[in-house]
Structure 1
């Protein structure tokens, strides 16, 4: 039986299913990549079976997500799970290699979108431009950020917002202070 109560949606299985679907990967495809049965994977997604740490490593690699996304995070107080994410309970997502620290503000990954808190460290740069099949809207809370969207350069200041609709884009924070942005991304990519 599927749970529709938001308090029951913040599970490894629900997040795994959301990530898999956002990547356009079927149960059969992922099971084959993992060398596991569709039945086992289905049980993991329904929280009827717990994968080993080695399984989680394979799943994170197959879905191209950091393994930390698949580990449990701080539990919300009774009555808040699925509704509220406290500052100290945010899940770290992405990687810090380019100087970007990201935290998931959404309670889980089961919605049609995700909300992300991004901190671009001083003197950081993504390097190569990226494109992903998403629609994204960002709002800069503090600092300054250089952003290239579809070949056009913009310097974003606090209070500015921007939209990326699948275009090739890149960012750079050549400034001396961190830039903090809130992003809404659909469909979820983490």
Structure 2
């Protein structure tokens, strides 16, 4: 790759990183001032990072991952080989992973970035995995079970779903579990994005 092409790719990656950081801040309802205080940085620096004018160090990215409660890996892998696919297409081998197998849930971001009005995830639930404490988010969510058996409790009512079944709810507490012996795969859509 030529030097100008490598420089252009780096700048594009920095723009996507900046957009992701801005989207995370906004979905959590935080101001630039609040982020700056929590990171021990200036408001101007945070603003420059969000506009792609400054690049955070690895230490800064670790602090942001902790602050936003996301894996550090979320800030990487913006590399898209075809320029006309950036921000539009996510190839199967280039999805950003958002979890670990230790938790029993591994999620891959199917959306090209964290901007926009919704995010789409491929969620794989290990056999026996469960969310024991109900989650409540100010979102509308929907899912489609691609494989396995998946159980979801929405607002106190459990629903057992199999391959081809789907669900939707908004602003209600939910829990989930995989009662099966094989992984359950669910395509999950969340609006607005929460990662």
Q: Indicate whether the TM-score tops 0.5.
A: yes
> Within 1, Cα distance between the matches of 2:86 and 2:59?
28
Deviation of the 1:162 alpha carbon: 0.5
Is the contact made by 1:138 and 1:181 (CA closer than 8 Å) also made in structure 2?
yes
TM-score (norm 2): 0.89
- Is the deviation greater in 7-16 or in 93-102? 7-16
Aligned to 2:180: 175
Aligned to 1:68: 73
> Within 2, Cα distance between the matches of 1:16 and 1:28?
14
Is the contact made by 1:76 and 1:89 (CA closer than 8 Å) also made in structure 2?
no
> Within 1, Cα distance between the matches of 2:131 and 2:15?
30
Structure 1 residues 10-49: aligned runs within 5 Å: 11-49=16-54
> Within 2, Cα distance between the matches of 1:170 and 1:104?
20
Deviation of the 1:10 alpha carbon: 5.8
Structure 1 residues 4-15: aligned runs within 5 Å: 11-15=16-20
Alignment CA distance shift 1:149-1:13 (3 Å): same
Is the contact made by 2:14 and 2:52 (CA closer than 8 Å) also made in structure 1?
no
Deviation of the 1:98 alpha carbon: 2.9
Aligned length: 184
Is the contact made by 1:9 and 1:108 (CA closer than 8 Å) also made in structure 2?
no
1:162 equivalenced with 2:167 (yes/no): yes
Aligned to 1:4: none
Aligned to 2:7: none
- After superposition, the C-alpha distances for 1:29-88 in whole angstroms (9 at most, x for unaligned) are 101111101111111111111111111111111122211112234424221111110000
> Within 2, Cα distance between the matches of 1:103 and 1:10?
21
**SS of 1:62 mapped into structure 2:** helix
Which of 147, 153, 158 is matched with 2:152 structurally?
A: 147
TM-score (norm 1): 0.91
- Is the deviation greater in 63-72 or in 110-119? 63-72
Deviating beyond 6 angstroms after TM superposition, the runs of 4 or more aligned structure 1 residues are none
Structure 1 residue runs without a partner (length 5+): 1-6
Which of 93, 109, 118 is matched with 1:104 structurally?
A: 109
- After superposition, the C-alpha distances for 1:114-143 in whole angstroms (9 at most, x for unaligned) are 000101111211222111111101011111
Is the contact made by 1:10 and 1:107 (CA closer than 8 Å) also made in structure 2?
no
> Within 2, Cα distance between the matches of 1:10 and 1:83?
14
Superposition RMSD in Å: 1.7
> Within 2, Cα distance between the matches of 1:29 and 1:20?
10
